[in-house]
Amino acid sequence: MQSVHKTVLLMETIEALQLKPGMIVVDATLGGGGHSLEVLKKIGKTGKLIAFDRDIDAIDRFKKRIEVGSAEVHDENIKLFHDNYSALKDRLTSIDIFSVDAILADLGISSDQLVDEKRGISFQGDSPLDMRMDMTKGITAAEIVNTYDEQDLIRVLKEFGDEKYASSIVRNIIAERSIKPFSYTAELVEIIERSVPGMYKRKKIHPATKTFQALRIEVNKELEALSSFLSQAVEILKTNGRLAIITFHSGEDALVKWTLRENARGCICPPEFPVCRCQQKPIVELITRKPIVPSENEVLSNPRARSAKLRVAERV
């Protein structure tokens, strides 16, 4: 199946990375491959692209795209890892790469995954309640919904979905699962719709949006993986190397913003100290004090881009 994914903030990201021929570049979230294809154009025959994705289907689709679309791409130019980007350093070390010129990560869910009926990431239709990016391992959304206790489920919905009706939704989930375990997305959507007020159902955003987002983040341990990835990414960048991260969720963006700012800090001594004693130096420089967001035209052509934020830092 061909990719239906539209790459978000494509040229803004590529420009921000300041790519040149011969560079070693990591695309930590291959997805539909849009960013990676542009990277390959910039780094040329002498460059190397290392790409990660937990979804083996994404890797297979990208292989087909480069086989069909580019006579310039050679096997030695590309290394594809079916793995979480939290394995960044270990995987690079396995191919004798210890530092890189640029790293990018697009944390959005691929449209290919949203329309993939076997995953159950979307609340539209009726699919198995799975939500795993890597369908070869890990806990499913059904297992979470059917086994987490009340307080843990409420925490997930509030922390990762900012769901104001979390308590009501969870109360009804627990009542329903005592009769019959949840197996399909439509069963969960029905409970959510029964658990929220009528005015909530009439909003632009579907009432199941936040619950499904929260469950997906919990299933895939997305914030934990992101935290691990960010610390490794900053460490392996060469001097003047750039890191570009696109987020779509407030929790992700807050974590990226905080991590980059912490690494951009210099002295952390108390203000009353006459001279610096900590000797702490900035590790990165913030290139974007405020995030880059999609243009109006991009949002019109791709509504899923509306919440995207691009933050960029450079290793010093």
DSSP secondary structure code for residue 87 in this structure: G
Per-residue pLDDT, 3: 54
Q: Token pair for residue 34?
A: 């849009």
Residue type, position 160, single letter: F
Lowest mean pLDDT among 14-28, 37-51, 73-87, 184-198: 73-87
Q: What is the pLDDT of residues 26-45, one digit of tens each?
A: 999 999 999 999 999 999 99
User: Is 93 exposed, middle or buried, given 0-12, 13-18 or 19+ CB atoms closer than 10 A?
Assistant: exposed
| pLDDT score, position 98 | 98
Note the pLDDT tens digit of each residue in 79-88.
999 999 999 9
Superfamily of domain 120-220: Putative methyltransferase TM0872, insert domain (1.10.150.170)
User: pLDDT, tens digit, for every residue of 227-257?
Assistant: 999 999 999 999 999 999 999 999 999 999 9
pTM over 0.85: yes
β-sheet with 237-247: strand ranges across: 78-82, 48-53, 24-27, 100-106, 237-247, 309-315, 284-286
Residues 152-165 pLDDT 10s: 999 999 999 999 99
Looking at the chain, which residues constitute the CATH 1.10.150.170 domain(s)?
120-220
* Residue range 10-112+222-315, CATH number: 3.40.50.150
Confidence bin at 306 (pLDDT 50/70/90) = very high
Q: Has residue 73 got a pLDDT over 70? A: no
Output the six-digit token pair for 209: 């949006």
What stretch(es) of the chain map to CATH 3.40.50.150? Answer: 10-112+222-315
Looking at the predicted structure, is the pLDDT value of residue 23 above 60? yes
